[in-house]
Structure 1
C-alpha cells in the first residue's frame, strides 16, 4: 500500500478522536486544577494530592478499564446494524459499572490505612487522608458516567461526553476556588475544598450526559428499558470476560506510574512534588493518545462487524501512524519547554529543577506511551484482551518496575532512575503489542481470502 492509503484516514480518525481527547483530557484537568490551586498552599499539600490520588488512580484504572469493554461490543453491534444487541450491552454495562463504582468506593476506604505504612512524609499523609475520603466517594457517579460515555463512543458519537467533561471542569474550578480559599460565603477548607469540588463536578458530569443522551433521536432506541433484558447472564459474562482483563491492563500500567509516587516519596517531599508535576504534564499528552486508542477500538470494531479485515488492518495502521506523528511533536515540546512548564505549578526552585529533569525522560517515552495505548485499543476492537493483559504485566512489572526500583535509589540516579524504568516498560509494551496485532490482523486476512469491497466505516 501507498502512504496515502493511510493518511487519507487521518481526518476521519481525528473527527472521532478529538472529542475523546478533550473528554479524557478533562479528567486530567480536574487533577490539574487541584494541583495548580493546591500548589499555592505549599509543597506538602501538593505532595498530599499526589499521594491521595495514587490510590484513587489505581481504582480509577480498574473502573475505566472495565468500562472500556462496552465500546467494542457496541461498535460491533452498530457495524452489523443490530440495535437490540447494542441496547442489551448498554443496559448490562450500566448495571455492572454502577456495581463497580460501589465496590471501588469501598475498596478505597479499606485501603486508606495503607498510607501510614508506605514510609511517606508524615505531614503529607495527614493532609492526604481527608482528601482521599471525599474523592473516593466520587467513584460512584464517575463509573456510571463511564458506562454512558463508552456506549456513546461505541456508536461513534464521541462529542457528548466531551461536552459533559468540559462543563464539569468549569464546575470543578469554580468550587475549587470558592472552597480552597474560602471566597464569599464559603468556608476556607484548603485541600478538602479541592476534593469537594471534584465530587460536585463528577455528579454534575453524570447528570449532564444522561440528560443530553436521552433526548437525542440517535440514542432513543437504546433507552427503551425492559426488565427481561436486564438480567441476561450470558451478556453479563461477555462484558466481564472483556472488562476484567481490560481493567487489569490499565491497572498494570497505572500501578507502575503510581509506584513512582511512592518511590519518589522515599527520596523526600520535594522529589515527590516534582514527580507529581511531571506525571500531570505527561498525563495530559497521554490523553491525546487515549483518544486515538478509543478511535482504534471503534473503527476496528466496526470493520470486525462488517468482516472487512483488510480495511481493518489498514485503518488501524493509519491510527498508529497518526499517534506516532502527534507524540513526536509533544516530545520535542517537552524538551524545549522543560524549564518553563513546571513554574506554573509551584514557586520552588528545587522542585522546578527536578521536574525539568524528569520532563526529558517523559519526552523520550512519549512515542512508546502513545503507541502502546493505541495498539491496545485496536486489539480491544478485535476483542483480544487476555494475551495483551499478560504482555502489559510482563512489560511493566517484570521489565519496567525492577529498573525503576534499582536506578531510582538515592545513591544511583534518584528520580531520573525511577522514570528510566517507565521508559523501559512502555517501550517493551509497545513492541510486544505491535507484534500481537500484526499477527492477528494477518491471520484474519489469511482466513478470509475474498473480501467484499465496500465503503469503510
Structure 2
C-alpha cells in the first residue's frame, strides 16, 4: 500500500487536485434534485416527494445523452491543449455550444412529449398529475443546463475546473432559496406548492448558463483561445467529431441512468410508500455517484492529455490513479451509508415510519454497490480519454438492460422480494459493468504499448 502511494504520489495528487473542483461542480448539479426532494418531502409530504423524484429522474434520463455526450469535449480540449493547438480549442468550444443547442431542441422536445404522456409510467393518478406539470417546467430548464455543460467543457479541459465549481455552488444556494420561497409563498413570492420547486430549478440552471458564459468571455484566462481571428474557422468537422464520440458516450451514460429510472418506475408499481423510500435512497446514491463522475471526468482529461503527448505510461498511470481515488472515496461513502442510514433518511422525511423503515434498508443496499458504481464510472471516463466509446456503450447496454433490469423485475415481482429484489438487480448490473470496463481499459493500454513497440496489436 505504501509502495503504491510512493509510486503514484504525483499522479494521485494531480488527479485529486483536478477532480475536487469537478466533483463539487458535479455534486452541485445533482444536489439541485436532492434539494428539490428535501424541500418537497419536508414541506409537502410523501406523494409530492414521489412525484417530484420520479419527474426529476425521468427528466435527467432524457437529458443524460446530451450531458454525457458533451462531456467528451473536455478530453478533446485537453488533448488539443497538450499539442498547443489553440485554434482547435476554439473550434471545439464553439462546436460544443452548437451541439448543446441541437441537443436542447431534441431532448427538450422529447421531455415535453413524455410529460404529456406520463400515464405511460403506470403510476397512481395523483402522482401522475403532479409529475406531469413538474416535468413540463423541467423540460424548459434543459436548455440552460446543456448550454452550461457545453461551456464548462472549455474550462475543465483547460484545467480551470474551479470556474464551474464556484458557479454551481452559487446556483445551488439560489435553488434552495427559490425552493423555499416559491413552495411556501414567502414574502412577495407567490405560493406555488410543488411547481415552485420546479421553477427554482429552472431559475437556478439559467443563472448557471449565464454565469458560465459571462465568465468565459470576460476572463483573461480564456482570451488566447477566443481571439477574433478564430471566429471564421469552420466548426463542422468538430461538430461531427463531438457527435461521433459524444452520442455513444452519452448512450453509455443513458443506459445506466435509464436503468435506475426504470427501477423507480418498477418500484412505483409496488406502492407510493415504496416509491418515496426508493427516491430517498437513490438520491443519496446519486450524490456519491455524481462525485465519482468528477473523478471520471478528471481521468478523461488526464488520459486525453497523455494521449496528446504520446505517453503510453502517462495513460496507464492516469487511469490507475483515478481508479484508486474512486475506490477510496466510495469506500468512505459506503461506510457512511452503513452506519448513518437512519439519520440520513430523517433528513428527507419525518412522521412516516412506513417510508422511513424501507428507505433505511435501501440506504444500506446503496452502500453495498458503492464500489461497483465508482469503478464502472471511472472506467467509462478513462476509456473516453482514449476516444474509446463504442465498446463501452455495448458493455453498459448488456450490464444494465441485459442483466440489471431483468433481474430487478424477476427478484422484485416473480420471486416476491419487493423493493429489495429490485435493488439486488441493480447491484448485479453495476458489478458486471465495473469488471468489464476495467478489463477493457487495461487491455487498451496494453494494445497501445504493443503498437509503440512494433508488436502487432
Structure 1 counterpart of 2:218: 215
Task: Find the aligned partners of 1:253 and 1:167 in 2 and give their Cα distance.
Answer: 28
In the alignment, the residues of structure 1 paired with residue 268 and residue 8 of structure 2 have an alpha-carbon distance, to the nearest angstrom, of: 45
Q: Secondary structure at the match of 2:417?
A: coil
**How do 1:38-437 and structure 2 match up within 5 A?**
38-40=40-42, 41-224=44-227, 226=230, 228-229=232-233, 231-347=234-350, 348-409=352-413, 412-437=416-441
Report the structure, 1 or 2, having the larger helix content.
2
- Does structure 2 retain, via aligned residues, the 8 Å contact 1:21–1:288? yes
Q: Distance in 2 between matches of 1:331 and 1:238?
A: 38
Range moving further from structure 2, 194-203 or 208-217 = 208-217
Taking a change above 3 Å as real, the CA distance of residues 411 and 447 of structure 1, as seen in their structure-2 partners, is closer
Residue by residue over 1:130-172, the C-alpha shift from the partner in whole angstroms, topping out at 9 and shown as x without a partner, is: 1111111000111011111112111111110011100111111
Q: Distance in 2 between matches of 1:346 and 1:423?
A: 25
What stretches of structure 1 move > 4 A for 4+ residues in a row? none
Contact 2:11 2:317 in 1 (8 A): no
> Could you give the per-residue CA deviations for residues 343-373 of structure 1, whole angstroms, max 9, x where no partner exists?
1101111111111111121111100000011
RMSD (Å), alpha carbons: 1.5
Q: Is the 8 A contact 1:6 1:315 kept in 2?
A: no
Q: Quick one: distance in 1 between partners of 2:318 and 2:57?
A: 35
Structure 1 pair 7–407 and aligned structure 2 pair: CA distance change class (3 A) = farther
CA contact (8 A) 2:115 2:133 kept: no
TM-score, normalization by structure 2: 0.96
Distance 2:236 2:188 in 1: 51
What is the aligned partner in structure 1 of residue 12 from structure 2? Answer: 10
**5+ unaligned residues in a row in structure 2: which ranges?**
none
Segments of structure 1 that go 5 or more residues without pairing to the other structure are 451-457
* Native 8 Å contact 2:64 2:250 kept in 1: yes
Q: Deviations over 1:428-454 (max 9, x none)?
A: 00100111111110111122239xxxx
Q: Aligned residue for 1:454?
A: none
Deviation at 1:411, TM superposition (A): 5.5
TM-score of the two chains, using structure 1 as the length reference: 0.96
Change (3 A) 1:127 1:410: farther
Would the aligned equivalents of 1:400 and 1:422 in 2 still touch at CA under 8 Å?
yes
Q: Distance in 2 between matches of 1:288 and 1:75?
A: 21
Measured in 1, the distance between the counterparts of 2:87 and 2:403 equals 44
1:446 aligns with 2:446: no
Post-superposition CA distance 1:238-280 (Å, at most 9, x none):
1111111011001100000001110110000010000000010
The answer to whether the 8 Å contact 1:135/1:199 transfers is yes
Residue 34 in 1 paired to residue 40 in 2?
A: no
Matched position secondary structure for 1:400: helix
Q: Tell me by how many angstroms 1:410 deviates.
A: 7.8
